[in-house]
Amino acid sequence: MPIELKVPEVGESITEVQIGTWKKREGEGVAMDDSIVEIESDKATVELPAPAAGIVTKILKASGEKARVGEVIGYLEPAGSAAAAAPPAAPGSQPVVDVKRTGSRVDIGSVQMSAGDGTRVMPAAARVLGEAGVAVSAATGTGPGGRVTKDDALGAVAAARAPAPVSKLAPAAAPPGRLPGAREERAVLISPIRRRIAERLVEAQQQAALLTTFNEVDMSAVMALRNKFKDVFLQRYGVKLGFMSFFVRAAVEALRTVPQVNAEFRDPHIIYRDYADIGIAVGGGKGLVVPVLRNAETLSFAQIELGITDFAKRAADNKLKLDELQGGTFTISNGGVYGSMMSTPIINPPQSGILGLHAITDRPVAIDGQVVIRPMMYLALTYDHRLVDGREAVTFLKKIKDTIEDPTRLILEV
């Protein structure tokens, strides 16, 4: 008996998801717990594992379609059943499949060995068209007797997915004798995560009183310390010693000094916290995500670096768990890895602050009356002015600066 593949619960209050990439096609075998399809919500991307070994026999929802939590999106024939155990047809003797078009999907009907009135399609071609939701009429049969082969189906799918050229309007003042460049456009469906990111950024701008203050930090001491211990650190912990762990530890100390930045405005109260759950902004496969280092005030440098490395790897593969993306109290965003010199980051509601890091560049600075070249970084703190006054914001950034410029403070916690 076929097993229903249903959309799993992906988080509290989430009732609708978007179907992502199908990892298995109709007719493909799967082992138990193999990933079958990606399920995208506005908070995370999760994978639906195979509940048993068998064969995917039917896909009901194509990539990009919406589905409700609990809705059946496909069927799996368990191993050992008659359908799953049926041997494939020998090469050269594949039957022709009577294919009918229903709605936006191709339904594979009964297998016929002789020609009929319907379109004659080879089974592999029918599977390709069915998974892509492309009409049989879009494929031109080049096989024996005009049959549609798999290559014909793949060509039809490629043609259907090619972006349609958008009507072009000649520029109003195009110089004589010059032809305008390519002006084509293509539409890409917005992923739920990208949509949610947009909503939260607008929400932050509309609901919080945002202000950004800046400072700069001399990275000489941290760079020297890192260079001195990076080899032994890597050998002992199996992870590189980066700059982010210094800034996480510095942020923890600054949050202790200025607790307003770690607080939350929850009208009619302000919620203060005696712990620091630091969100680390990382680029994921579906967009920017912010996994959280829980109780960062208790973590060592190695634990911080291991946690960030793990987050980055799993974010690239869309394997972060939903609970890892929720509940942060403060965020650090490192735009410097992309070459950013200066920015005004936007807070992640309902947090009250976000620290922006930027590129390290050699710049002339005045020290003890002398102009010297030092590796400098600009820091930016965007904060909610409803909770944090300018004095507290400047004090917070000054604490970060002092700690990074003299990292022995992290050991003494002063």
Tokens of 330: 């403060």
Cα gap 315→289, rounded to integer Å: 7
Write the CB contacts of 53 (distance below 8 Å, at least 6 apart in sequence): 29, 30, 31, 32, 78, 79
Cβ-in-10-Å burial (0-12, 13-18, 19+) of 371 comes to exposed
Under 8 Å between Cβ of 254 and 399 = yes
The three-state secondary structure class of 236 is: helix
Q: Nearest Cα to 153, choosing from 99, 198, 201? A: 99
List the beta bridge partners of residue 265: 270
Based on the residue annotation, tell me whether 152 is a catalytic residue of this protein: no
Based on the residue annotation, tell me whether 385 is a catalytic residue of this protein: yes
Active-site residue (options: 34, 151, 389, 406):
389
Cα gap 366→167, rounded to integer Å: 58
Write the CB contacts of 145 (distance below 8 Å, at least 6 apart in sequence): 115, 120
Burial 109-126 (b: 16+ CB within 10 A, else e): eeeeeeeeeebbbbbbbb
Give the CA count within 13 Å in the CB-facing half-sphere of 385: 7
Q: What angle do CA 175, 181, 186 make, to 5 degrees?
A: 140
Write the CB contacts of 296 (distance below 8 Å, at least 6 apart in sequence): 248, 249, 251, 252, 276, 277, 278, 304
The per-type count for the chain, helices as H runs and strands as E runs, is 9, 22
Under 8 Å between Cβ of 344 and 358 = no
Burial 259-295 (b: 16+ CB within 10 A, else e): ebbbbbbeeeeeeeeeebbbbbbbebbbbebbbbbbe
Active site residues: 385, 389
